[in-house]
Structure 1
Amino acid sequence: MCFGTSSGKLSQLAHYGPIGAIILILWITLTAFHCLTKWFPPESNDPLSVINFLIFWIWPVVIFYNYFRAIFVGPGFVPKGWRPEKVEHEKYLQYCDICESFKAPRAHHCKKCSRCVLKLDHHCPWINTCTGHFNHANFCWFMFYAILGCTHGLLMLCPCIYRALFAQYYIYARIKNVPIIYFTFVSLISSILSIGLALGVIFAVGFLLAVQLRSIIRNQTGIESWILRKARDRSHRRKNPFIYPYDLGFKENLRQVFNWRETYNVIGNGIIWPVCEGADEYALTREQIEQKREKRQRTVRYSVIQSYKGSFITYHYGFRTCICIPCSDEARIPIEKGDYVLVTRWEKYWLYGERVKADETKTKDGTKGRFRRRSRGWFPRCCVYEAFRMEDLWSGKLDPDSDVVREQLDSIAPEDLEDYEEQECTEQNEQERIEEAQQEITISTSSKESPKVLRNRKARNES
């Protein structure tokens, strides 16, 4: 069952990515075919030329087939309003305020598509949609055949142009059985340009295909690899190391995407996933929730003192702010005086954070409630000033009853406060366990007894 796919409309092609990709494929194909007819035309008495001609036209067919399937089938989206079958499982999942549904395991929200995507890997501008569960295989096949097609095109272009440039040699040397090739100026420039484009496709798409194959072999999307890297950094805080639940082995990981056993049909519905032994289906989502709680605790709260419209022209905020821009394709968010932002990344002249503004709005049942409009991105540092750090508040460095803290906390949602308090209690308990273990090690070192013996003796004394 496909829980929502791409829009399936031709309007998806009205974007610079699909338009550029289609023009690029047609340009290389037509110029290479022009050279093929001059250098190695199909002839009835030459079976190799016929085979070469047929193989040459197979490439654009399979390339466009997988390309359009990747676009129109789409990655698959979590249906709006989706909830897990069991209510007790909702605490293990994240809730998306935009889609008004829970995020299924391995699903993430895409700002470009404005939907939660099943097994989101990345948003690709060349197909004008995301690469996800239902179109991952077609996307990889498209890249694979594009590399083979461009390689075949180079084998037609390079010898043809070489013989056209050195045609006089073949004439004066009277070499037989070699076609004499002539080019007009336009066709020569077009063919040389096609060589450069084909080489660019081979290297660029080849690199992207290698990255995708590595992700498929590990059964990790790009987002999941970031989560796993952070989980390993946090492994010293837990007793048992984190087990990535979706690594099923080399062969099975490949089959989860390409599925050669069942005529390459997509496996599963994108909601329920097979997991390895010793893990459960919500292990990764629980880990991500914990990481986001820690991230919120490390955020620094800034108040906006100067409005910023999100423009890329920022000369009026200072010359260095204008030229020292962040090297990132992430968005720039507009902020208004009186708002506040929760900052998680810092540069000398720019900050990255989340703008939070509470407004009174009506809920579905007609009652008024607080709804937080959130947007993340970069903004100039000179537009804000630091109010306080969340970790200073919970560590006791700041008085929670002070006027500054009270004024700032009035606009924080209660669920955020609960997250901070729960995280603080969790860290205190972990710290107590670490200190107790260190005391046991110290005592055992001085008395030359193992910690296990000391624990058994302590248990007997307590009983």
Structure 2
Amino acid sequence: MKLKRFFSIPIVLVFCLMSFIYYVTIFFLINNWLNLQSSVGSLHALIFTFVASLCFFSFLVCILTDPGGIPSAYLPDVEENDSSDQEATKTGRNQRLCDKCSAFKPPRTHHCRVCRKCVLRMDHHCVWINNCVGHRNYKAFFVLVFYATMASIYSLIIFIGCVFQKDLDFSGNMPLMIFYISYGIMTVGLSVTLGTLLGWHVYLTARNMTTIEYYESKRKAWLANKSGLLYHHAFDVGTYRNISLVLGPNVLKWLIPTARSHIKDGLSFPTARDNS
């Protein structure tokens, strides 16, 4: 069933883009600039291959990992009053019932119209992995963006080095000039786009917030400000602990997409109120 996720035009495009950048960087840029047979050229090729492999592996993990669904036997605590969630109410259970799934929703759970199910700690639905980004695969998505950013910047640096060190002469070779210009624009665009996305998710992770919760918090902060109150995201338990809850307590495993032993059932989360 999960293999069906690979039959998607965006995923095929990502595979093609990864393969194209890898081939050009290794066999065209590094080979022309430093020569793959040299020790320096081989070292750069090895490092880039390592980063690209981790990026590709993280991509596969994102696609194949279920983001997390509500257990069929789940029932909310009647006493629970999750003041951080937009749907937390005075009536307890009723307003935590998904009107599409007809299932009770744990805190931070949202219904995905594309996947047609409720996803635990849903961040967003990503067409580029043909999957939701949620509780069980958010770390893999974060790591994927990190490695993709590093690979794009690395390729851009190799490209710049090749262009300036080789002192290329494009006179009489218009196709080669067009290729270099196109590849430069593409890698700059990718580096900026992925770098911005990485920065965004570093911010969210440091605040222990999802994309959905960020936009919800803007409205809540506005309402709190109107009432003369100071809004604080309920699941923000301190920067380091926030990061540890997402990436894990072991710093050495932060960039391993499959190191998910720290991820719990996703039905409840520590809050700032628990620490007070």
Q: Is the 8 A contact 1:243 1:279 kept in 2?
A: no
Amino acid at match of 2:234: P
Q: Which shifted more, 97-106 or 253-262?
A: 253-262
Tell me which of 124, 130, 139 is aligned to 1:128: 130
Amino acid at match of 1:49: G
Deviations 1:175-206 (A, max 9, x none): xxxxxxxx976665444422222111111111
Query: What is the aligned partner in structure 2 of residue 78 from structure 1?
Result: 70
How far apart in 2 are the matches of 1:58 and 1:241?
A: 46
Task: State the 1:153 CA deviation.
Answer: 1.4
Tell me which of 96, 100, 103 is aligned to 1:101: 103
Structure 1 residue matching 2:196: 3-state secondary structure = helix
How far apart in 2 are the matches of 1:141 and 1:150?
A: 14
Greater fraction strand: 1
Query: What is the aligned partner in structure 2 of residue 41 from structure 1?
Result: 35
Deviations 1:204-249 (A, max 9, x none): 1111111111111111112212332333333378798665321110
Greater relative contact order (CA < 8 Å, ≥ 6 in sequence): 2
How far apart in 2 are the matches of 1:164 and 1:121?
A: 46
Give yes or no for the alignment of 1:32 onto 2:38: no
Query: What is the aligned partner in structure 1 of residue 223 from structure 2?
Result: 234
1:213-232 equivalence runs, <5 A:
213-232=202-221
How far apart in 1 are the matches of 2:6 and 2:236?
A: 35
Q: Is the 8 A contact 1:245 1:279 kept in 2?
A: no
Distance 1:237 1:52, change over 3 A: closer
Bigger radius of gyration: 1
Distance 1:278 1:83, change over 3 A: closer
How far apart in 1 are the matches of 2:15 and 2:169?
A: 33
Query: What is the aligned partner in structure 2 of residue 270 from structure 1?
Result: 266
Amino acid at match of 1:53: A
Tell me which of 144, 156, 164 is aligned to 2:146: 144
Structure 2 residue matching 1:149: 3-state secondary structure = helix
Distance 1:243 1:188, change over 3 A: closer
Structure 1 residue runs of 5 or longer lacking an equivalent are 1-6, 169-182, 281-463
Structure 2 residue matching 1:123: 3-state secondary structure = strand
Amino acid at match of 2:185: G
Amino acid at match of 2:206: I
Deviations 1:295-335 (A, max 9, x none): xxxxxxxxxxxxxxxxxxxxxxxxxxxxxxxxxxxxxxxxx
Query: What is the aligned partner in structure 2 of residue 65 from structure 1?
Result: 57
Identical-pair percentage = 25
Give yes or no for the alignment of 1:208 onto 2:197: yes
How far apart in 2 are the matches of 1:279 and 1:230?
A: 25
Query: What is the aligned partner in structure 1 of residue 92 from structure 2?
Result: 91
Give yes or no for the alignment of 1:255 onto 2:244: yes
Structure 2 residue matching 1:75: 3-state secondary structure = coil
Q: Is the 8 A contact 1:232 1:242 kept in 2?
A: yes
Structure 2 residue runs of 5 or longer lacking an equivalent are 81-90, 254-258
How far apart in 1 are the matches of 2:188 and 2:229?
A: 48
1:318-397 equivalence runs, <5 A:
none
Amino acid at match of 2:92: K
Q: Is the 8 A contact 1:80 1:100 kept in 2?
A: no
Structure 2 residue matching 1:130: 3-state secondary structure = strand
Query: What is the aligned partner in structure 2 of residue 115 from structure 1?
Result: 117
Structure 2 residue matching 1:96: 3-state secondary structure = coil
Amino acid at match of 1:31: V
Query: What is the aligned partner in structure 1 of residue 169 from structure 2?
Result: 166
How far apart in 2 are the matches of 1:260 and 1:87?
A: 32
Query: What is the aligned partner in structure 2 of residue 354 from structure 1?
Result: none
Task: State the 1:250 CA deviation.
Answer: 0.8
State the aligned residue count.
Answer: 256
Amino acid at match of 2:15: I
Deviations 1:391-433 (A, max 9, x none): xxxxxxxxxxxxxxxxxxxxxxxxxxxxxxxxxxxxxxxxxxx
Structure 1 residue matching 2:122: 3-state secondary structure = coil
How far apart in 1 are the matches of 2:234 and 2:10?
A: 35
Q: Is the 8 A contact 2:225 2:231 kept in 1?
A: no
Structure 2 residue matching 1:234: 3-state secondary structure = helix
Q: Is the 8 A contact 1:32 1:191 kept in 2?
A: no
Structure 2 residue matching 1:154: 3-state secondary structure = helix
Q: Is the 8 A contact 1:31 1:190 kept in 2?
A: no
Distance 1:28 1:184, change over 3 A: farther
RMSD: 2.9
